[in-house]
Structure 1
Amino acid sequence: MRPDTHARQVLDLLAQKGMLRPSDLDAIEVPRMVLTRLSAASLVEKVGRGLYRLPERDGLEHESLTTIATRVPQAVFCLLTALQFHALTTQLPRQVWIAMPRGSHVPRIDYPPLKMIQVSDAAYAAGIEVVERNQVPLRVYGAARTVVDCFKHRNKIGLDVALEALRDVRAQRRASTDELWHYAKICRVTNVMRPYLEAIE
């Protein structure tokens, strides 16, 4: 098969998937050096260690999230990142917040900068929503779960951020008190949240 055919296969796969790792080429039997040549010719862009995209994908919404989701499929976006995703905060986080199962190591990613929390198995799985962006599935905690997490990790992000998120989620009718209470029990933060939930009733 001619090299230009290999290049076309890679570009087609990138258009379909949004992002590629060199190992993805094994499935279509294309040498990995094709990615290097396409990158040198500015036909594809390297966005991190072993991660490539089409250059015209610059500036796409949630780009840093798709980068992480491709590299670390078990990561769940949480706290400030999830708040921003759900438009429940005025904060602009400097890092991407992810939740991983207890005992996980911080993923080795050069960019974007990560902040990881470890979560017990039962709490880790609760409230995950899968949303596709740029052909990449993103795992993000839903609005109610995210607000509860903000109270649980108030020492990391600030009680003011948690209170703002609670006000916004109720004002926008994105979560009921029952939903918030459900996740407060799972995350063992009912005593902390009780006075605030009672105040907004």
Structure 2
Amino acid sequence: MPAQSHAAKLLHLAARQPAVSARELSAAGIPARTVSRMAARGQVRRVGRGLYTGAEGSPSAHQSAIEVTRQAPKAVVCLLSALEIHGIGAQAPFEVWIALPAGTHAPKGTQAALRVTRLSGAAFTEGVETVVLDGAPVRVYSLAKTITDCFKLRSKVGLDVALEALREARQQRKVTSDDLSRYAKVNRMTNVMRPYLEAMTG
């Protein structure tokens, strides 16, 4: 394929999604030298290790989360970043909060600032959903799981954040008592959360 065709194909792919990986470009038959040359010319932007986006495109509101989860496929967006994705609370974290399995290294080479929490067993695997943000799939904890995570890790996010998330999610009917109880049990937060749940349902 001529170099011009490679360039056109790269621009087309970069325009269709917030970020495209070097692996995806290679699978599409675009040589690495074409990618490097176009990045050097400013025709595409390198937004992370092996991640590129169109030079003219405005950054996605979820660009950082997309970038991080592309770099670390095992990562799950959690806590403040998950609340933001679910539209709960007034938090607008400049860091991307992710959970990784115990013993897993954090991704390197990302332009996004990270806050990494390591979880194990059911606390890591339960409640994972895949949502599509600006055309890109991102793994994130469900809202009910996220709220119980906030209680579990209240020393990191603050009890006020956990309570605000619980109150707002209940008012908007985005979570059920059954789901909250289920994930509270997974996180061993049943006794901690019970008085707050009873106060809101009483």
Asked if TM exceeds 0.5, the reply is: yes
Aligned to 1:156: 156
Name the structure 1 match of 2:84.
84
2:162 counterpart letter in structure 1: A
CA contact (8 A) 2:49 2:71 kept: no
Q: Is the 8 A contact 1:77 1:139 kept in 2?
A: yes
Report what 1:168 is aligned to: 168
8 Å CA contact retained: 1:169, 1:175 = yes
Q: CA shift at 1:14, angstroms?
A: 2.5
Give the whole-Å Cα distance in 2 for the aligned partners of 1:59 and 1:31.
25
Instruction: Measure how far apart 1:191 and its partner are.
Output: 1.2
Letter paired with 2:147: V
Match of 2:19, SS?
coil
Tell me the equivalent position of 1:134: 134
Contact kept? 1:79, 1:146, Cα under 8 Å: yes
Q: Is the 8 A contact 1:69 1:136 kept in 2?
A: no
Aligned partners of 2:187, 2:172: CA distance in 1, in Å? 23
For residue 72 of structure 2, what is the aligned residue in structure 1? Answer: 72
Matched residue type, 1:189: M
Deviation string 1:84-110 (CA, Å, 9 cap, x unpaired) is 111211122231100111211122134
Unaligned segments of structure 1, at least 5 residues: none
2:7 is aligned to 7
Change (3 A) 1:124 1:63: same
| 5+ residue gaps, structure 2 | none
Distance 1:180 1:83 in 2: 15
Q: Kindly tell me the number of residue pairs found equivalent between the two proteins.
A: 201
Structure-1 residue corresponding to 2:104: 104
Partners in 1 of 2:60 and 2:16 — Cα distance? Answer: 15
Q: What residue in structure 2 maps to residue 193 of structure 1?
A: 193
Match in the other structure for 1:52? 52
Distance 1:176 1:26 in 2: 44
Deviation at 1:32, TM superposition (A): 0.1
Identity of aligned residues (%): 44
Partner of 1:116, secondary structure, is strand
The SS at the match of 1:57 is coil
Tell me the TM-score normalized by structure 2: 0.93
